[in-house]
Amino acid sequence: MSAEIKVPSENGSSNSSNPSPQPHQNGQDAQKIQRRVPDMQLGKCHWVVLLNNIAYITSGIVLREHEGRLQVLLIQEAKKSCRGKWYFPAGHVEPGETIEEATKRELKEETGFDVNVDCLISVEINGSGWYRFCYACTIIGGSIKTEPDKESLCADWYDIESVKKREITIRCNDFLKLLDEAVKYRNWRNSIAPSISEYPQVLNIDENQPGLFVEFVIVKRSSDQAKVEVLTHQSVKHEEEIMTSIDGFPTVEFGFEYSFPMVLSKCYRHMFETPADIDIPSGVIGVSCLPKPLESLQHGIRLRILCYHKKSTMKAQLHDTKRYHWLNVQNPKVLSHLCLLPSQFQPALFML
**Percent of residues in the chain assigned helix, strand, coil, to nearest 5:** 20, 40, 40
Confidence of residue 194 (pLDDT cuts 50, 70, 90): confident
72, 62 Cβ separation under 8 angstroms = yes
Q: Give me the chain's average pLDDT, please.
A: 92
Per residue in 23-37, pLDDT (tens digit) is 444 444 444 557 888
**Architecture of the CATH domain 55-198:** Alpha-Beta Complex (3.90)
Give pLDDT tens digits for 103-144. 999 999 999 999 999 999 999 999 999 999 999 999 999 999
pLDDT digits (tens, 9 = 90+) for 129-185: 999 999 999 999 999 999 999 999 999 999 999 999 999 999 999 999 999 999 999
> Domain 14-49+202-342's class?
alpha beta
Domain-by-domain residue ranges, the chain? 14-49+202-342, 55-198
Equal CATH topology for 14-49+202-342 and 55-198: yes
Looking at the chain, list the stretches that DSSP marks H as alpha helix, in order from N- to C-terminal side: 99-111, 160-164, 176-191, 260-271, 332-337
Which residues pair with residue 284 across a beta bridge? 305
